[in-house]
Amino acid sequence: MIPDSILDTLFRTARTHNAWTDEPVSDGQLHRLYELAKWGPTSANCAPMRVLFLRSPDAKARLKPYLSSGNVEKSMAAPVTAIIGYDTEFHRHLPRLFAHSPAMHALFSDPRNSARTERAAFQNSSLQGGYFILAARCIGLDCGPMSGFDAPGVDREFWAGTAVRTNFLCNLGHGDPAGLFPRLPRLDFDEACRIL
């Protein structure tokens, strides 16, 4: 069993941050984050998540026009804003990532299955995005995941010429507790779950 203190860090006391300290996030921390997150399971080991870490003022300025008004200030202040994307051509890597089953590559590379491939890419990058947030918390970073942005605009600006599309954004850094909202409730087990 994982100790309660770690469960608190990952889940119970972890918060979505909206304000940030000036403490930087290093290249090494971003590498460590990905090296943890990549081990989370995906269907057929498809690993469609792609990440752009926006840290420079120029990169942040490119993102700014596509953010919802409520997300501008906190994203510009965050040391890093990660664009979590999904590669709709993830199947190109399946001969290496899922080598024991060539049929999976054939399934997802078949143009007749494009809707299935898109769905698999989005679903599995969402899974990986959850691992990404937990990995960030494991290495001492705080997170501020967001969905308020112009996704087609971000795609044009950052993923043009690729098969990658944007799933969500996540600010990273060391959160300033003064910017936290009161803790919001969650649904109880009986409201969200059934045992059949």
According to DSSP H, which parts of the chain are helical? 4-7, 27-37, 57-63, 69-77, 94-97, 102-109, 114-138, 151-158, 189-192
Structure confidence by residue, pLDDT tens digits, 156-188: 999 999 999 999 999 999 999 999 989 999 999
Is residue 133 assigned to a domain? Answer: yes
CB contact at 8 A, 51 and 82: yes
Give the count of beta carbons closer than 10 Å to the beta carbon of residue 124.
Answer: 23
Is residue 188 assigned to a domain? Answer: no
Give the count of beta carbons closer than 10 Å to the beta carbon of residue 55.
Answer: 19
Q: What pLDDT does residue 183 have?
A: 92
Is residue 43 assigned to a domain? Answer: yes
Is residue 114 assigned to a domain? Answer: yes
Number of domains in the chain: 1
CB contact at 8 A, 91 and 46: yes
Please identify which residue in the block is written with the tokens 């690993």.
Answer: 47
Is residue 181 assigned to a domain? Answer: no
Q: Which domain range does residue 135 map to?
A: 23-176
CATH number, residue 139: 3.40.109.10
Return the closest-CA partner of residue 168 out of 84, 89, 96. 84
Q: How far apart are CA 101 and CA 175, in angstroms?
A: 44
Structure confidence by residue, pLDDT tens digits, 81-136: 999 999 999 999 999 999 999 898 999 999 999 999 999 999 999 999 999 999 99
Q: At what angle do helices 114-138 and 102-109 cross, to 10 degrees?
A: 110
Is residue 13 assigned to a domain? Answer: no
Please identify which residue in the block is written with the tokens 């290496």.
Answer: 96
Sheet containing strand 80-87, strands side by side: 49-54, 80-87, 164-173, 142-146
Is residue 14 assigned to a domain? Answer: no
Is residue 110 assigned to a domain? Answer: yes
Structure confidence by residue, pLDDT tens digits, 46-92: 999 999 999 999 999 999 999 999 999 999 999 999 999 999 999 99
